[in-house]
């Protein structure tokens, strides 16, 4: 399956909001659907044509909205990619919070990441990696993404903390886990994304434990 088709399949719509008597829920749901449609159209075009070759007018036309409407939801093309990535980060934090309370923080981080990456399509991940590699603006946003992810992971792990020492450990584990995702992900893509993502996560964390001994 082509990466663009994967994106089209994966980003179908955001969860609908509930209806309220004044119609606020309906408006919110329509806004969510429009945002999702813009994201889907943009990511499809980026993967098919390239980031630079795709214009905001192209995205608006593909999503069947006006150029002005695009700017109601995103300030730039880079913001569309960032929004798409933030969904994956939120899912990862949810996995962290769901881990058993008695699980060691590093193990919880590993298992949460392994669960999250099972939902990643290798072809899609490779295409996204090339997209970021070939565009300096997206590379800069990628750095910011990892900084945000580290903070989010630290917050998720901190919910398991009982002492001041635990809170410090949460920050350290978040830093280690985020670094593992970044370095490991680059290596995984560099090797052609042939290995199952969850198997690569295990190997990466095994290496971390070996270093920390």
- pLDDT above 70 coverage of the chain, percent: 86
CA 139 vs. chain centroid, Å, equals 14
Higher-pLDDT residue of 37, 185 = 37
* Residue 171 belongs to domain spanning: 77-212
DSSP 58: H
Per the rule left: phi > 0, alpha: psi between -120 and 50, beta: everything else, 196 is: beta
* Residues 119, 45 share a domain: no
State which of 73, 103, 129 marks the end of a domain: 73
> What CATH number did the domain enclosing 63 receive?
1.10.10.60
* Residues 81, 57 share a domain: no
pLDDT for 109 equals 92
* Residues 184, 137 share a domain: yes
When pLDDT is cut at 50, 70 and 90, the band that residue 119 belongs to is confident
pLDDT for 41 equals 93
pLDDT for 169 equals 92
* Residues 93, 46 share a domain: no
As given in the structure block, the two tokens for residue 157 are 């792990």
CB-count exposure of residue 172 (10 Å: 0-12, 13-18, 19+): middle
* Residues 201, 157 share a domain: yes
When pLDDT is cut at 50, 70 and 90, the band that residue 106 belongs to is very high
Least confident interval from 39-43, 51-55, 133-137:
133-137
- Indicate whether 17 pLDDT > 50: no
* Residues 82, 64 share a domain: no
Calculated CA dihedral for residues 10, 188, 130, 183, nearest 10 degrees = 110
Total number of domains constituting the chain: 2
State which of 52, 73, 94 marks the end of a domain: 73
pLDDT for 45 equals 92
State which of 25, 52, 73 marks the end of a domain: 73
CA 31 vs. chain centroid, Å, equals 21
pLDDT for 13 equals 37
* Residues 134, 186 share a domain: yes
* Residues 141, 114 share a domain: yes
> What CATH number did the domain enclosing 123 receive?
1.10.357.10
pLDDT, tens only, 57-95 = 999 999 999 999 999 999 999 888 877 767 667 777 888
Least confident interval from 16-20, 123-127, 186-190, 197-201:
16-20
pLDDT, tens only, 158-182 = 888 888 888 999 999 999 988 888 8
* Residues 109, 54 share a domain: no
- Indicate whether 24 pLDDT > 70: no
Rounded CA separation 171/193 (Å): 29
* Residues 151, 200 share a domain: yes
pLDDT, tens only, 133-142 = 778 778 777 7
* Residues 85, 46 share a domain: no
* Residues 197, 101 share a domain: yes
């Amino acid at each position: 399956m082509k990466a663009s088709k994967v994106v089209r399949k994966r980003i179908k719509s955001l969860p609908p909001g509930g209806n309220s008597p004044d119609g606020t829920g309906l408006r919110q749901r329509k806004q969510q659907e429009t945002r999702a449609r813009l994201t889907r159209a943009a990511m499809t075009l980026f993967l098919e044509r390239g980031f630079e070759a795709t214009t905001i007018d192209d995205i608006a036309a593909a999503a069947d909205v006006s150029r002005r409407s695009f700017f109601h939801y995103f300030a730039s093309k880079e913001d569309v990619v960032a929004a798409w990535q933030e969904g994956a980060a939120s899912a990862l934090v949810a996995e962290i919070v769901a881990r058993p309370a008695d699980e060691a923080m590093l193990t919880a981080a590993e298992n949460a990441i392994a669960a999250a990456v099972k939902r990643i399509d290798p072809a899609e991940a490779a295409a996204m990696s090339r997209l970021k590699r070939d565009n300096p603006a997206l590379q800069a946003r990628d750095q910011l993404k990892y900084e945000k992810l580290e903070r989010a992971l630290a917050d998720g792990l901190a919910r398991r903390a009982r002492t001041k020492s635990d809170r410090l450990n949460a920050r350290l584990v978040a830093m280690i886990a985020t670094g593992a995702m970044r370095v490991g992900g680059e290596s995984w893509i560099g090797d052609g994304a042939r290995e199952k993502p969850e198997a690569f996560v295990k190997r990466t964390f095994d290496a971390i434990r070996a270093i920390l001994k």
